[in-house]
Amino acid sequence: MYIHTVKSGDSLWQLSQTYNIPLEAVYSANGLSQQSILVIGEAVIIPTPSIGTTYTVKSGDTLWSIGQRYGLSVRELAKANRIRNPALIFPGQVLQIPAGSKPIIEVNAYTEKFGADGVQLVRDVGEYLTYLSPFSYRVKVNGELTPINDEGVIAAAYEKRVAPMMVITNFENGSFSPDIAHAVVSNAAIQTAVIAECVAVMKLKGYLAIHVDFEYVPPADKTLYNEFLQNLVNEMHQYNYLVSAALAPKQSGEQMGTLYEAHDYEAMGKILDFVVLMTYEWGWSGGPPRAVAPLNEVAKVVNYALSVMPPEKIMLGMPLYGYDWTLPYVQGGIWAPTVSPYEAVVRAAKYGAEIQYDTESQSPWYGYYDEEGKEHVVWFEDARSVQAKFDFVKTNKLRGVSYWVLGVPFPQNWYVLGENFTIRKLV
């Protein structure tokens, strides 16, 4: 594929003619239609013929620009075509595009949607998933689990060869409870009950893995939390179940704060089969405007993780959403609503905004004024920002990626994911 940044005067028809591909292919890759309005600065995926084929050089082409379309270096193209001087190519020349295998990764996605809507979501994107994580079984302070209606999405997951992954949390009344986490990790009887009930649910429902998302664990309970995870692993491995956990985005082992301190990267890297780094929410609904998952900050978290655990245990957290802030930002004021990447572009078109791309965070954004004259700024994700993250995953040979959360329309993400990777299936 090739990612085109829209300029003044561009149209979908013109792009299809320029790149010599069917208009319907552009619609499909981007989730667009005949009614879609292009926005200056918007990223548009241009599907290209699959590798292992040929390409006819056009006026203005270089080996570098052709290589960008196919994810190949100048050296790879020159070698495949026995070109001694990469500068000497000419219009009409037919080049061989060498076939290559895409890296194999694992992909997880959380879902909070169940019933018919949740089932349809799984069917829509299941081909791109290794795991589906219904969110969530909430642990009570007495060790009991709050049940969820997950049978439908689990069945849909199996239809698409996706492994269901049970999620347990210390979530209660709209927030993560330190008291629940403390009760589970500090009380042997409660801990035994939690683990036994998890095994029973997994056997009954057909789960193949379990994922622990305990947040705001009291810092003093760090060792107890590690021991709980080890006990969970010991039990689950008897049934060949995989065990993972969500980790707060730490950039060093000394990072302070209740969210971070009990998440022991080094110990959890040794105990668990894999971890999910929650590398999002730098820009969050109640905070000041900024990119949700700025790559420059994400990289700091991953680099720290890589210093204490192997890359094959690390899944990079990725957002499927953005936020629309009303300015001026006031701490404690009205929270920014979530916006899908698809809706973000539609909104930019509605208000005549031009989309900008911040190269430091590798994230798109734009500003606009609404009907009441209020100023807004929107940060979101697009094909360029997810490609930058996928390049980072490949460079660091990470286990894979994990999405929060299904149900936020982002057609470009799935196309770009499929073009970059082969998705491992465990079912």
The first and second tokens of residue 346, run together, are: 């539609």
The pairing of strands 400-404 and 104-111 is: parallel
| CA 336/CA 348 separation, integer angstroms | 16
| CA 160/CA 102 separation, integer angstroms | 21
Minimal CA–CA distance to 201: which of 165, 152, 159, 172?
165
Minimal CA–CA distance to 136: which of 112, 154, 117?
112
CB 242 within 8 A of CB 275: no
DSSP assignment string, 122-190 = HHHHGGG-SEEEES-EEEPTTS-EE----HHHHHHHHHTT-EEEEEEE-EETTEE-HHHHHHHHH-HHH
Specify the amino acid at residue 169.
T
| CA 258/CA 235 separation, integer angstroms | 28
- Please say if 215 is a catalytic residue: yes
| CA 301/CA 316 separation, integer angstroms | 10
Q: How many CB atoms lie within 10 A of CB 7?
A: 10
The H or E element that residue 27 is part of is helix 23-30
| CA 339/CA 322 separation, integer angstroms | 5
| CA 246/CA 404 separation, integer angstroms | 12
| CA 166/CA 111 separation, integer angstroms | 11
Return the CA Rg of the chain. 23
The H or E element that residue 403 is part of is strand 400-404
In the DSSP assignment, the letter for residue 369 is E
171 has which bridge partners?
A: 176
The first and second tokens of residue 224, run together, are: 């107890």
Minimal CA–CA distance to 148: which of 163, 133, 161, 159?
133
Phi, psi of 3 (to 5 degrees): -105, 115
State the catalytic residue, choosing from 215, 343, 381, 419. 215
The first and second tokens of residue 80, run together, are: 């495949």
In the DSSP assignment, the letter for residue 179 is H
The first and second tokens of residue 38, run together, are: 């292009």
Give the residue numbers annotated as catalytic, written as ranges.
215
